[in-house]
Amino acid sequence: MKKIINQPDQVVDDMLNGLAYAYDSLVRRVPDTTVIARTLDPSGKVGLVSGGGSGHEPSHAGFVGKGMLSAAVAGQVFTSPTPDQILEGIKAADEGQGVFLVIKNYTGDVMNFDMAKELAELEDIEVDSIVVDDDIAVEDSTFTAGRRGVAGTVFMHKILGAAAESGASLKDIKALAEQVNDNLYSIGLALSPATNPEVGKPGFELEDNEIEFGIGIHGEPGYSRENLKPSKELAEEFVSKLKKEVDWSAGDKFAVMVNGMGATPLMEQFVFMNDIRALLDDAEELDLVYRKVGDYMTAIDMAGVSLTLLKIEDVQWIDYLNAPVEVIGW
Active-site amino acid positions: 56, 218
**Residue 78 makes contact with other proteins by CB under 8 A:** yes
Q: How many CB atoms lie within 10 A of CB 198?
A: 16
Total of chain residues touching other proteins, rule CB under 8 A: 35
Which position among 38, 104, 148, 174 is part of the footprint of other proteins (CB under 8 A)? 148
Q: Which residues pair with 309 in a beta bridge?
A: 185, 256
**Residue 83 makes contact with other proteins by CB under 8 A:** yes
Which position among 112, 181, 183, 192 is part of the footprint of other proteins (CB under 8 A)? 112
CB of 108 vs other proteins, minimal distance in Å: 4
Taking the C-alpha atoms of residue 178 and residue 47, their distance in angstroms, rounded to an integer, is 17
Give the binding range for other proteins (CB under 8 A) out of 40-48, 72-80, 182-190, 275-283: 72-80
Taking the C-alpha atoms of residue 150 and residue 173, their distance in angstroms, rounded to an integer, is 20
**Residue 106 makes contact with other proteins by CB under 8 A:** yes
Nearer to other proteins, 30 or 159 (CB): 30
Nearer to other proteins, 77 or 92 (CB): 77
Helix axes 266-276, 231-245, angle to 10 degrees: 50
Taking the C-alpha atoms of residue 49 and residue 68, their distance in angstroms, rounded to an integer, is 9
CB of 180 vs other proteins, minimal distance in Å: 23
**Residue 50 makes contact with other proteins by CB under 8 A:** no
**Residue 111 makes contact with other proteins by CB under 8 A:** yes
Report yes or no: 50 and 69 within 8 Å, Cβ to Cβ: yes
- Within 8 A by CB and 6+ apart from 98, the residues are 46, 47, 125, 126, 127, 128, 169, 170
Listing from the earlier edge strand, what are the strands of the sheet with 210-213?
224-227, 210-213, 184-192, 303-311, 253-260, 287-294
Binding site for other proteins (CB under 8 A): 9, 53, 75-85, 106-108, 111-112, 115, 138, 142-145, 148, 196, 198-199, 203-204, 216, 218-221
